[in-house]
Amino acid sequence: KDEKGENVMNITIEGLHFSYGQTPVLEEIDLSIQKGEIFAIVGPNGSGKTTLLKNISGVLTPDKGALYLNMRQIADLSTWQIARQLAMVEQDREVGFDFTVREVIAIGRIPHQSRFARENKVDRERIEEAMRVCSVDSLANRLIAEISGGERQRVFLAMALAQEPKVLLLDEPTTHLDINYQAQIMEIIRAQAIDGLTVVMALHDLNLVAQYADRAAMLNKGQILEIGKPDEVLTEANIKRVFHTDVIVTKHPLVNSFYVMPLTHKFCGGQE
């Protein structure tokens, strides 16, 4: 606990194993993620990133091991109890109905409402605040199907924030987005973490991990290869081992970060 008596660890994972049928996907996963931390999960396709997020969210149940959310075992919590503490924004999420942007964001309030209850003042305030934070208030009456991919991703993030979670899980939140939308999403996430929200995200873009994550875990074939600060995890040797790609990791000239550059034939002195 911290000096205020609040739990510092939002998520603890001990000895987690998970398989799809007879195929092992995650093995011996041990993690502790702190309140207010941006924690990135990196690894190639098929390394288990999404599966790990779904185990944390309670959507999947591990074969072995334990997961704790704010000191309580997730297996002992109801879906309703989990939804009041944890929200997840999945990759390529779709809405199958002609909902307006505001109606989609209002779905985030369901865990806080009694059955068949109408929106109350608190619900409306949380919805409006989430729309403002994610800069989608001007889209409130637009149909979700009519807006761009970058706008839609901000809407789903707003829906998750309207849920008032303590923990936010994000599965590739910047995939298929232009660079301006990527920056907007990541800045929103960073601001929420500063306010105490715990963020766990799977990311392909190693440079976004370098710039925004407090810590990271690198998965390789369902096992954790390395955990630590981004510069401890995203080393040239680790990236070569896991992604089978030669890279240069170098300090960024303008910001207090570093960046990862693949070594192509051109940079290695070859001809185009």
pLDDT band at 252 (very low <50, low <70, confident <90, very high): confident
25 and 139 share one domain = no
Whether residue 263 lies inside any domain: the answer is no
198 and 123 share one domain = no
Task: Report how far residue 67's alpha carbon sits from residue 13's, in angstroms, rounded to the nearest whole number.
Answer: 5
- Number of domains present in the structure of the chain: 2
103 and 75 share one domain = no
Ordered DSSP codes for 134-187:
TT-GGGTTSBGGGS-HHHHHHHHHHHHHHT--SEEEEESTTTT--HHHHHHHHH
Higher pLDDT, 96 or 240: 240
Q: What is the pLDDT of residue 6?
A: 55
Quick: pLDDT tens for 202-221.
999 999 999 999 999 999 99
Average pLDDT, the chain: 91
Estimate the crossing angle of helix 121-133 against helix 179-194, to 10 degrees.
130
Whether residue 250 lies inside any domain: the answer is no
Range of the domain at 137: 97-164
133 and 173 share one domain = no
Of 10-14, 138-142, 250-254, minimum mean pLDDT range: 250-254
Q: What is the pLDDT of residue 7?
A: 54
Whether residue 92 lies inside any domain: the answer is no
Q: Which residue has the tokens 């008032």?
A: 164
Parallel, antiparallel, or unpaired for β 38-42 and 215-220? parallel
Higher pLDDT, 262 or 5: 262
C-alpha gyration radius of the chain: 19
Q: Which two tokens stand for residue 6?
A: 């609040």
Q: What is the pLDDT of residue 271?
A: 47
